[in-house]
A and B are shown apart, each in its own frame.
Chain A
Amino acid sequence: MILDRTFLLKIAVGLALFALAAFSAFSLDNYQLQVGTSLAMLAVLCYAWNLVGGYMGYPSLATITFFGIGAYTDGIVQNLDQAIGVAWLAAAIAGAAIALLLGAALLRLKGHYFAIGTIATLEVAREIANNWDALTGGAIGLNIPIQMGSPEFVGRFFFLVMLALAVAAFLVTVVVDRTRFGFGLRCIRQNEQAASMVGIDVVRYKVAAFVLSGALSAAAGGVYASMVAYIEPKDAFNLVKTIEIPVMVMLGGMGTIFGPLIGSAFYVVLNEFVWANFINWHSGILGLIIVGVIYFLPGGVLGTRWPSAKGRMPMRARAAQPRTTA
């Protein structure tokens, strides 16, 4: 690992932010806890996506496939009278295992083809959840045992768990960013052929990143399912969500350690604001804002050279170029 002083400072800032959030848990009201929990969950999903989409440059739309798989695994395992921690672990393992199988096949595709292939996993997973009544409860959905305790206690509990998961995702990203694994992923993003020529086991690296990403997403799904205590196919395998995740990371900055956090925070704040003020036009306005932001800040909040953030066209071309896969 290469750790220079700036990078150590960044890690410290990140951890301090998370610690601050954890302490604030005891002074937040229920609504704030709910927003905080969904923010932490989105941050986990964004960090998970960032490994594959950001560092490795594979535009995955399978994040929510693994999220849903985690949610269902959690529900099924909890309904077998297992402890909640066991169910979460099972969710992460299921996500990793399925990512291993899917990754071995899907990662042969590149660019748009890969994106379409990963969307297909979501559609297939939703249909399976819809039709395998015995296991998933089908379209009716699956009830999951509710956690006992006052609403404040339960709200705080899930907030802290989701936050802990976000810290884990952040630390995974920190390690990936500074080790030969992350270095290899960056090489793969830029030129896969050249990467194998310098001795990188391209297939194994790609699958490993996909598995890591799948495990994180599924863990988030597991915690989510325990929290809401009821899941159904169209909620667990939501197409819009799987597209929102990459959008958030792009807002924040792809292939960086803070991009996913900033992106998801920005998005949640935006979402809450637009939702509160323009309830009828909510989706449309949010869409326009996203298009605008991506147009003017193609590298995300972190990938932008702020002093020259006006006359954008040449920078847009440059910042957009490295993100495409060969």
Chain B
Amino acid sequence: MAEPILELRNVTRTFGGVRATDDVSLAFMPGEIVGLIGPNGAGKTTLVNLISGFLPVSSGEIRYEGRSIVRQAPHQIARAGIARTFQIVQPFAQMTVLENVMAGSIFAGALGLKAARAKAVEALEFVRLAPFMDMPASELALANRKRLELAKSLAMNPRVLMLDEVNAGLNSSEITEALGMIRAIAERGITIIVIEHLIRVVAELAERAVVLHHGAVLSEGPVDSVLKDPRVVEAYLGNRFARRFAG
């Protein structure tokens, strides 16, 4: 069996007395799409922050390509090939769309300015933002800002891409388009972790799903079986619904 590209071993993160991430152990294979779901406050974004080095783990280990990365700074992790998008989009507002994406290819992609520009244009064409290249990033509409985040991450030449609620706030047709893009990215061999609370997105996209609840892994496995797991239904809808659902 292939080695996992990203592996979490007993990762725990506490904030005061709260265990925001509770003894999570997960493995991600190269090129797979994994849905990370869970109700609000389940600890999904905390987990992303731990992996990307934004928050230090309280205990446990995160291994990327066989090496521990828990002591590394966010920029080192980004350069090593773990990219993320933010739930609340974070463009460099005074820069143009192209410059935003170039930031990704210059620093994480470690390219010279000319090569970085070519790489950025390619990423923009991929997410169909090329026509807006010279526009200030602050003038993009929400759906396009989400795509900008995607292009910026792609320009970083990642091997693992974490998409934090990349579909939140989009309408149905925009979501369909975004799903197509995400699938195309996975076909390049990039591991994708889709953080969502829209079950539809995960159901359509992922082969495997992980459900977080109160910071711990509640259920894990093929998407269909996970979504039918009574514990998952209970976590989302409350136990009265769960009983009716099961009964």
Contact = CB atoms under 8 A, between A and B. Distances in A.
Nearest to B85: A197
A107 to B, nearest CB: 15
A186 B99 CA distance: 11
Interface string A177-219: 0001001101100110111111111110000000000000000
B86 interface: yes
B92 A199 contact: no
Nearest to B117: A2
B101 to A, nearest CB: 9
Contacts of B152: 198
Decide if the interface of chain A is mainly helix, strand, loop or mixed: helix
Interface stretch (B56-64, B72-80, B184-192, B227-235): B72-80
For chain B, the bracket of interface size reads 20 to 34
Chain A interface: which size bin? 20 to 34
Given A1-B113, A2-B113, A190-B95, A199 B108 contact: yes
A322 interface: yes
Contacts of A201: 73, 75
A199 to B, nearest CB: 3
A202 B74 CA distance: 10
B78 A197 contact: yes
Contacts of B109: 199
Given A322-B93, A322-B94, A183 B75 contact: no
B225 interface: no
B104 interface: yes
B107 A199 contact: yes
B75 A194 contact: no
A168 B83 CA distance: 39
Interface centre among A2, A194, A201, by most B CB within 10 Å?
A: A194
A184 B107 contact: yes
Contacts of A180: 106-107, 113
B68 interface: no
Nearest to A323: B94
A197 B52 contact: yes
A197 B79 contact: no
A127 to B, nearest CB: 36
A200 B92 contact: no
A198 B94 contact: no
Contacts of B90: 191, 193-194, 197
A169 B107 CA distance: 26
Given A1-B113, A196-B78, A187 B103 contact: yes
B73 A196 contact: yes
Given A1-B113, A2-B113, A198 B95 contact: no
Contact of B94 (A190, A194, A197, A199): A190
Given A191-B90, A196-B73, A197-B52, A183 B106 contact: yes
Given A2-B113, A180-B106, A183-B106, A197 B92 contact: no
B93 A199 contact: no
B87 to A, nearest CB: 12
A299 to B, nearest CB: 12
A186 B52 CA distance: 22
10 contacts: A180-B113, A183-B103, A196-B78, A197-B52, A199-B109, A199-B110, A200-B103, A200-B107, A202-B75, A322-B94
> When A and B form their complex, which 8 residue pairs have the shortest distance between CB atoms, in order from nearest?
A199-B108, A199-B107, A194-B90, A199-B78, A190-B92, A196-B74, A199-B79, A198-B103
Interface of B: 52, 54, 73-75, 78-79, 83-84, 86, 90-95, 99, 102-104, 106-110, 113, 152, 156
Given A196-B74, A203-B73, 13 more contacts: A183-B102, A183-B106, A184-B107, A187-B103, A190-B93, A191-B93, A193-B54, A193-B86, A194-B90, A194-B91, A196-B73, A197-B83, A199-B104
